[in-house]
Structure 1
């Protein structure tokens, strides 16, 4: 976290570490890695669904308002924190994964293989059943 960065300061209270994810297992998992990164990645968190971080306004209304959300990017820095703040501003109970997807396996948690199904637009198919 950069203590001089307003985004980091505003988002820090909503960070969840991989070892505490069990406490928020009911959260809807949203992968917000940038499109080129997501398209090249072979894995994502189990049960996650990708949404384009460049188009939060285009998909935020599709999220359930009665279920909390966990967003993650590669490292848990700029992308997920920026999306988190937009979701919270829209009234969504959102948190972000500290360390991003790169920190997930370090906590001993499995990753899911992306489905080969074609996708387009601002969302992609989920990988496996929600965990």
Structure 2
């Protein structure tokens, strides 16, 4: 996968069940709006080193935050450094909602 994916590309991954999807919004953002994209599991972005080992390395990982900015980029960098094939959702959950997903 590339560094970023579109809402449509993420939907295709969800439909094919071919990727692990992680919600990496900051805890305060997640608590304010705890809904997630179906099939995603929330992980605290500030604790990426603690939970990264739980992710399977044999399949791609898609992550998203609120707007696809600094949080996604920092988690992307951390997971890439650990050898994961990871992409983040362009525009984050806001883009997912805007796309009617």
Asked if TM exceeds 0.5, the reply is: yes
Find the counterpart in structure 2 of residue 18 from structure 1: 7
Moved more, 71-80 or 42-51: 42-51
Correspondence for 1:49 among 35, 41, 45: 41
Structure with a larger share of its residues in helix: 2
CA drift of 1:20 comes to 2.3
CA drift of 1:83 comes to 0.1
Question: Normalization by structure 2: what TM-score?
Answer: 0.89
Distance 1:58 1:42, change over 3 A: closer
Deviations 1:45-77 (A, max 9, x none): 001101110011111111111111100000000
Gaps of 5+ in 2: none
Distance 1:19 1:56, change over 3 A: same
Correspondence for 2:57 among 53, 65, 68: 65
Q: Counterparts of 1:102 and 1:44 in 2: how far apart (Å)?
A: 12
Find the counterpart in structure 2 of residue 32 from structure 1: 24
Query: How many pairs align?
Result: 97
